[in-house]
Amino acid sequence: MALGIVFSPAAAHADWQPVETIKTYVITGRSGAELYDSIGERGPLLGPKVRAIAHTDFKLTWTRKYEPQADGACTITVNIPKLIITYTLPKPSGQLPPATRKSWQKFIAGVEAHERVHGGYIKDMVKEIEAMSVGFSVPDDPKCSKIRVELTKRLGEISKRERQRNVDFDKVEFSDGGNLQQLVLKLVREE
């Protein structure tokens, strides 16, 4: 958590926008099945042995000002997030035959839409953090040390809820008949 410079009260509630970027990894193949096999070989690692089709990651930093109050409390008076969301998606290395290209375009549009739902959950989390921490105050904390401990606890709870939303969403999307399962089947069958 970064300690920021003094801002006016209006700046303490400044509008912010996330930066969203797309990063690609190269896959090979000329058919839907070959492309999917390549994804399995080259997709982003989510653990030591688990590869994903795509992945959403983020970097979140804050400009905060912790200000001792006359009554001995400590209050967050400035709280501005900087959020960078990165979507990692597969990209074929060469031209695809027309039928495969059409199937691929549907597949990658669906995968990107799925990843952007994860991005939306991240944005929701940041907005929740911002809402709970702007003006957040801890009594009897003239050195502004207790507030950091209490804020960290609350941020952990918010983060845990965001991770659970992602797990629940993926469970539905990858279930039998789920959206991502259907996207994969249609790609492999070149529908």
Residue-wise pLDDT for 33-43, tens only, equals 999 999 999 99
How much is the pLDDT for 14?
54
* CA end-to-end span of the chain: 48
Report which of residues 34 and 190 the model is more confident about: 34
Beta bridge partners of 171: none
pLDDT at 4 over 70: no
d(CA 15, CA 13): 7
Average pLDDT estimate for 164-178: 94
